Structure 1
């Protein structure tokens, strides 16, 4: 009888609050920024993290907690007081980044999100959107811009949801070069998904009046995957906001999900990844075990000789990362990649005075293996980057919607900077073409100005 009553109450809650009674709550949980100042500090923090099964945000592996490197970690409410007392007793400096994780979630409009299938003109790129809304947006935008873009089936998720990608570029009888971008590998990193939609919008709205994009779209197709980890993304909306992995079951269903950015066949599970399925960095039972990974790998491997750039979009940390994550050794064109990235972050700083860092993943972030960036580099793609978008820890994975616009604006300036580099160094007759296009625009403007004067 009690069980039936509980189910009735929960069902009523679903009808009233759209399933909020099913969601994992983080009431009173805090995110601390801790600085271990010695190897003893680091070891003690590792032991606490393992003992209490803490949710590490930075780094995401216990083994990566070292002296002198900031640690961002979510502490359950039940352990907050004890954790702070322990840190004080061990003279380990710390600050509180987030005082109540649930309040941050509740304070955003996401907590009151209502499913809306609006027209394309009314689609709000400054808000986070559910997967159903994104699917609907994809249908609308491909129909409106059918002259320039097409939608293609990439593969299916574990839960049999379709993964699509956009191909954006002018039709051509000849094979074209490709710039590839994946978003949403980690479910809780909603800003990455928001940026992919923003990028598509910007390319489609700018290209007619932008000689650079006009030239590039004649020679290059953009392949954009708005969301790869669709199952995990949906789960982060419906059940557990801070969910990171996929939703495939493991160990007879005792744990779920694989970290897709540890699942690619590039020095798979050697460093910075876990073979324990309960870990947020679980690399999977085998390389490319996940259907999502297989879908990306199949497409890229078939077109790798045509791919000029591979971008993978993440959060948080405000960095542009270069290969590699599994070794401190630089890639063969490390200087070229560094120069391109540093010019891009200079443009980002001009936009909103926000300073991103540049460097190899293993040097300025932490060791990791099996990432899509490193795997793409192994495929022979010259320019491969991981973008870690806003912020630096104030909100972490819960970046407020009011920061979507500035984040996307500054990231777009970096992308355009990199596209300019590709245009100048990898595309044929690009300089002449762009000059001629600018002359065409100038002459058109001159004629428009002249005609009214002569009438």
Structure 2
């Protein structure tokens, strides 16, 4: 929602939390307003040549007072960041930037990479800076049409930051690394051109074919005939090589370059209502299958207790289809992050076009699930 501030003089409005789920961010609009002072220079309403010349200079001296037309002023649009609708990239980035400004003791925003088209890939880190903390990774919109994922992780960031000191140690002893839009080019493209666009906006052969970023990670990349494609026009196109894309490189470098050991990796997707873990490239159970199944089931139970939604839990291949070169297989096998999950949010009914009135419930159930996972991680 945009509201034009109708003031003759621009004033700075502080970013304040109006309700637990809202706060304001700002953006200069293109609209402008102008007022000019008009003065009749002759009693009969006519103007002499000299008077017209004075008017043309936009400054009139009358009774020793200079009368000057007011300058054109840009109206400042006030954009509301909430979880009742889906927002564009500039609003999302302004939101995390404002969190950093308002809570500098626990919030840091960094650019972990640039997209194919040169957009920033921003990450919000929430931490009390304790040396013994472990890391949690959460990313959204690796597939650009999955808008609900960005809504969910920004909601979690908002709740975490504004209530940080009220949470248990299982939450506060973590360094939270949150990437709200991992595929910014594709995300913007879904708002301006093609709502169902999935991949990034990479160009190969002189045209934009896009790469499925969740097939571009190095573990099991290009393995077999299923799980990804070498056809640039295919929706599962894996790219010409592992980590050929700057977006997947950004994830790799941020995690492997961290001095904090990561305990959980959560990549949010939609719309199957699943909590899935490795492997995606084969049917064999991963070494920690039982533990991952148990922790995933605890998350699913938290979701059900929150909204009554039933999420299934299992390995990628068990619940969906072969998927090679995925981020969770890489995070589990190469980055050695023990709790690696892909959380498929709502909804099977609406698919990628989840109605905005379901955003709050989806955010709430996902956050409760993540909190339960943190409890499990600390106890095991």
Shorter-chain TM-score category? 0.7 to 0.9
Higher helix share: 1
TM-score (norm 1): 0.64
Residue 98 of structure 2 is aligned with which of 136, 140, 149? 140
Q: TM-score, normalised by structure 2?
A: 0.77
Could you tell me which residue of structure 1 aligns to residue 53 of structure 2? none
- 3-state SS, counterpart of residue 187 of structure 1: coil
Selected match of 1:232 from 165, 186, 193: 186
**Alpha-carbon distance in structure 2 between the residues aligned to 1:117 and 1:261:** 36
Cα distance in structure 2, aligned partners of 1:277 and 1:224: 30
Shift of 1:215: 5.5
Q: Please show how residues 91-102 of structure 1 align to structure 2 within 5 Å.
A: none
Check 1:215–1:350 CA distance in 2 against 1; reply closer, same or farther (3 A cut): closer
C-alpha displacement at 1:205, in angstroms? 2.7
2:276 matched to 1:321?
yes
Q: Is the 8 A contact 1:251 1:277 kept in 2?
A: no
- Distance in structure 2 (CA, Å) of the matches to 1:372 and 1:151: 22
Q: Kindly indicate whether residue 212 of structure 2 is the aligned counterpart of residue 259 of structure 1.
A: yes
Which position in structure 2 is the counterpart of 1:373? 328
Residue 123 of structure 1: how far off its partner (Å): 2.0
Of 92, 97, 110, 1:152 maps to 110
Q: Distance in 2 between matches of 1:297 and 1:208?
A: 30
2:158 matches 1:205: no
Partner of 1:181: helix, strand, or coil? strand
Partners of 1:179 and 1:398 in 2: CA distance: 28
Q: How does 1:262-281 map to 2 (within 5 A)?
A: 262-270=215-223, 271-281=226-236
1:21-69 CA distances to partner (integer Å, 9 max, x unpaired)? xxxxxxxxxxxxxxxxxxxxxxxxxxxxxxxxxxxxxxxxxxxxxxxxx
Which of 130, 138, 143 does residue 186 from structure 1 map onto? 143
Contact 2:148 2:359 in 1 (8 A): yes
Q: Say which of 185, 188, 196 aligns to 2:153.
A: 196
Q: 1:171 to 1:137 in 2, by over 3 A?
A: same
Deviations 1:99-132, CA, capped at 9 Å, x for gaps:
xxxxxxxxxxxxxxx999647xx42122100011
The answer for the alignment partner of 2:318 in structure 1 is 363
Unaligned runs of 5+ in 2: 1-28, 31-75
* Matched residue SS, 1:191: helix
Provide the rounded CA distance (Å) in 2 between the counterparts of 1:215 and 1:366. Answer: 33
Shift of the alpha carbon at 1:169?
A: 1.0
Flag the structure with larger Rg.
2
Partner of 1:451: none
Match of 1:386 in 2: 342
Provide the residue aligned with 2:134 in structure 1: 177
Aligned-residue offset at 1:209 = 2.2
Q: Give the 3 Å change call, closer, same or farther, for CA 414–239 of structure 1 in structure 2.
A: same
Equivalent in the alignment of 2:19: none
CA shift at 1:272, angstroms?
A: 1.1
As a proportion of its length, which structure holds more strand? 2
Q: Deviations over 1:230-258 (max 9, x none)?
A: 000000000000000000111231x4210
SS state at 2:241 partner: coil
* Structure 1 spans left out of the alignment, 5+ residues: 1-113, 426-455
The answer to whether the aligner puts 1:220 opposite 2:174 as a matched pair is yes
Whether contact under 8 Å (1:178, 1:306) holds in the other structure is: yes
The alpha carbon displacement at 1:300 in A equals 1.3
Counting only pairs closer than 5 Å after superposition, residues 304-319 of structure 1 correspond to structure 2 as 306-319=261-274
Query: 2 CA distance for matches of 1:268 and 1:175?
Result: 34
Q: Is the 8 A contact 2:215 2:221 kept in 1?
A: yes
Q: CA-to-partner distance for each residue in 1:127-170, whole Å, 9 max, x for gaps?
A: 10001111211221111111111111200001011111111010
